[in-house]
Amino acid sequence: MDDSRVQLKELNCRSYDKICNAQDDYRAALDLVSGRLAALSGQELRRGPAVVELGCGTGECTCQLAEVTQSVRITAVDCDERALNCAERKLASKSLVGKVSLVRADAMTQLQAWVGERRYWDVVISTFTFHNWDIEYRTSVLTLLVGILGRGGQLIIADYFPRDVIAGTAAFRMHVRRLFDIMAPLGELGLLREWVSHTIEDMAPSRIMYEDAAIRSMKDVGFAAVHCDRLSELTAVISGKIPLR
């Protein structure tokens, strides 16, 4: 199943990144996630952690993750070839190519392959990808993630996790207004139309991820110490660990 993110059809990669970075929640989420990885690398692991970034997109988070520690080894997965091309150019411009392996695949296919190979990872990170999947697909992905994370392995998800229906509706309304504020002056009206349509789809009952339900779904498949760090009414970082035994 391919994800349903805003597609990079005729989209300039630089414009896409500019729009993402103009959103405070996006920048704060990347900073929190990369900070977590830096702390983990320095305190909990004797070697550089083997990290999967699920849904790396244009590589904005990928670069930030690669920069936080000298020893980190990242495998970044995405199903969009254009996005991966953007990521590759960005990594090259920052001399980070040797620290990251880019893999073109949809999440389910790649995770199933790793489970079959009994390949284990220390950390899985995903930023603003899970909300693109319906509930059934997300649950399957979470189940597979339990199968590729070793004991003590960590999952860190930065995404849209409104607290409830009322908060979510208000937060998505403000999000759409912010999109207009960012994109209209840039003249990106085609992208604005597509992004707003995508945001409406994100609010569908089969897609929206409320905080309590997201935490419960992680616990149900086997994650422990599940914790939520809220960044705004819309965005949060939810993390969990595989028990040591």
Within 10 A of 204 (CB to CB), how many other CB atoms are there? 9
Read off the pLDDT of residues 89-145 as tens digits, 9 standing for 90 and up. 999 999 998 899 999 999 999 999 999 999 999 999 999 999 999 999 999 999 999
Global pTM reads 0.90
* Distances from the Cα of 206 to the Cα of 106, 124, 168, 201, angstroms: 19, 24, 14, 9
Q: Write the DSSP symbol of residue 21.
A: H
Selection from 13-17, 104-108, 183-187, 197-201 with the highest mean pLDDT: 104-108
Which region among 13-22, 48-57, 126-135, 216-225 has the lowest average model confidence (pLDDT)?
13-22
13-241 homologous superfamily: Vaccinia Virus protein VP39 (3.40.50.150)
Per-residue model confidence as pLDDT tens digits over 49-65: 789 999 999 999 999 99
Residue 239 makes CB contacts below 8 A (sequence gap 6+) with 36, 154, 155, 156, 157, 226, 227, 229
Q: Give 187's contacts (C-beta < 8 A, 6+ positions apart).
A: none
Please say whether the beta carbons of 149 and 239 come within 8 A: no
Distance separating alpha carbons of residues 56 and 128, to the nearest angstrom: 9
Q: How far is CA 128 from CA 132, 172, 235, in A?
A: 8, 14, 9
Placement of tokens 């900070």 in the chain: 35
How confident is the model over 176-190, as a mean pLDDT?
84
Domain ranges of the chain: 13-241
Could you tell me the two tokens for 126? 């995903």
**Among the listed ranges 42-46, 109-113, 132-136, 223-227, which one has the minimum average pLDDT value?**
42-46
